[in-house]
Chain A
């Protein structure tokens, strides 16, 4: 495994030897990696390799049997999903998991949930704390709407929107959390060429303009090889290779995982 210099600063996310299994079926078997500041790490692998399981471990949905995960120096494994979100870890989902009866605006505003400090009593009164906080949040959310070009759909319930736009709204909701690390689970799955190119542009903008480090799970190899700084390859929950895209592509173990063993 080649070691790539991720810069002088300390890594944002450090995953050490994580093991996760469901009643004897091993989903993740000893995965270790780090994500540096402003780095874009891609995780690839055949179906069932454990890519989404890693995301679920990071966001607190699954609890691994062994291993350590630290995010900005904080231990993630002892925390529940809302606490992890409050630390600044945001994610999107493989199958769009938006709040489909809410409008685009409300979905993005919900992303800012943990930035609000007012309680139910202030909410009922509205005038005062709640209104001030909501107005400030709205201004922030409008910046994201502008950034992701979602203006035409502000007031639409997301269930009525085309799939490609829903994917973008989900990215917007994650950005509204003002994350310190962004996990993207197959952001271009099922998209056509134009939608894929749009999404690639947004991902690059997020890294270059907002400087948010990202972990990307994706099956579109062209996208992964073009965007990623480093690539982690998994097969049946075990790490096969970790390195720059060009090196990983030549790795015989990776070719074996994708095309099957040489007879």
Chain B
């Protein structure tokens, strides 16, 4: 609204960018570009973000342990969804291979933290600050290796190739029993340990679920802020430029190959970290879980939440994760739906159909997803009681 620039700052050698001041009674008066470019640029955003964080912290005390475990899983999935949103939402490179990178992260972390000399590979490094970055790094390397495909293919062709990646990975993880324990057996997931203190056991900080919940909440905030920073930097702008008009982006000075590779690398890093954390909540990794359905779940989170928005990806992840306890309760309500995978129709089939249906409905009625619904509601109340 009010975009008033201050006079030239005498100390600045270059063009002045303004001195930040707060004028009482004029919360939206910006006197510097720093104020104008801040992530939380209005009082409303600062207050609502603060309230959300307080609410999320309060939930750890209020909710039952079972619900906290579901929410902790949802936060981890949100990290993965933000990762997919970086490559698919911001950079516009459709990837169905997200489950593959999640798996790489999960197994890197599990192998690092597992006990040495057991049935499966283990190095006995249980410190989270070692295995989490390692999982992200290994997955990022895998992403960078796959990325050259994206520089040759686009749109549906890229989607098909990344789809192939999931099936390749699924096969390898089922067969490589030394690493994964094999189908039906699985292996112990990464153990979150911080400076010798086990985070997945009841302790002085609270119950196991409370500690894990708080850990995932902190990590989600860190990853989300990092993604927002990336999105508003030259890197995020270059991603969006490649998505909107790749040839124009190249002519404006954006090297396409380098930034597509970067997008895949960062996205896979997020996926790897999410994979490492996801199974430390349940404590157990099963090689069959990294299938197409997991990739589709991530796509659903991004599309339902909101393409190319960080808050949308988080909302989508929460939406999908909180949907699951509801669908899992279906067999007790509807006897037609079975909880057994060998029967038809079973819960998992219902879930798959539901994801597809939700994606279709959102694409038709609100392509911007939950984020778009929020924008609509906000705009309605901005001008209320007038229509515009």
Contacts and interface: CB of A to CB of B under 8 A. Distances in A.
A222 B342 CA distance: 77
Given A110-B237, A113-B234, A123-B233, A135 B250 contact: no
B240 A106 contact: yes
Given A139-B16, A177-B253, 13 more contacts: A59-B251, A90-B252, A97-B247, A97-B248, A98-B244, A110-B252, A113-B252, A119-B235, A130-B233, A133-B234, A134-B37, A134-B233, A142-B5
A63 interface: no
Q: Chain A contact residues: over half helix, strand or loop, or mixed?
A: helix
A111 interface: yes
B244 A61 contact: no
Q: Chain B contact residues: over half helix, strand or loop, or mixed?
A: helix
B132 to A, nearest CB: 15
Contacts of A9: none
Name which of B249, B253, B262 has the most chain A CB atoms within 10 A of its CB. Answer: B253
Interface stretch (A40-48, A80-88, A223-231): A80-88
Given A136-B14, A139-B14, A139-B16, A82 B255 contact: yes
A133 B233 CA distance: 10
Contacts of A60: 251
Chain A to chain B: the 3 pairs with minimum beta-carbon distance, closest first: A85-B253, A123-B233, A126-B229
A51 interface: no
Interface residues of B, number: 38
A119 to B, nearest CB: 8
Given A124-B226, A125-B229, A91 B251 contact: yes
A123 B235 contact: yes
B252 A136 contact: no
B234 A123 contact: yes
Nearest to B245: A97
Contacts of A138: 17, 33, 36-37
Nearest to A138: B33
A99 B229 contact: no
A4 interface: no
A168 interface: no
Contacts of A86: 253
A173 B252 contact: yes
Nearest to A176: B252
A120 interface: yes
B253 A61 contact: no
Given A82-B255, A85-B252, A125-B229, A120 B262 contact: yes
Contacts of A90: 252
Contacts of A81: 247, 250-251, 253
A111 B252 contact: yes
A27 B22 CA distance: 60
Contacts of B254: 82, 110, 113
A123 B229 CA distance: 6
A61 B240 CA distance: 20
Interface string A94-134: 00011111100010011101101011101111100011011
Interface in A143-195: 143, 151, 154, 173, 177
A116 B351 CA distance: 46
Contacts of B5: 142
Contacts of A100: 244-245
A224 B266 CA distance: 48
Interface string B10-21: 000011110000
B252 A80 contact: no
Contacts of B248: 93, 97-99
A176 B171 CA distance: 50
A106 B234 CA distance: 9
B33 A99 contact: no
A101 B153 CA distance: 22
Nearest to B223: A124
Interface in B332-355: none
Nearest to B248: A97
Contacts of B266: 120
B352 to A, nearest CB: 31
Name which of A106, A113, A118 has the most chain B CB atoms within 10 A of its CB. Answer: A113
Contacts of B33: 135, 138-139, 142
Contacts of B296: none
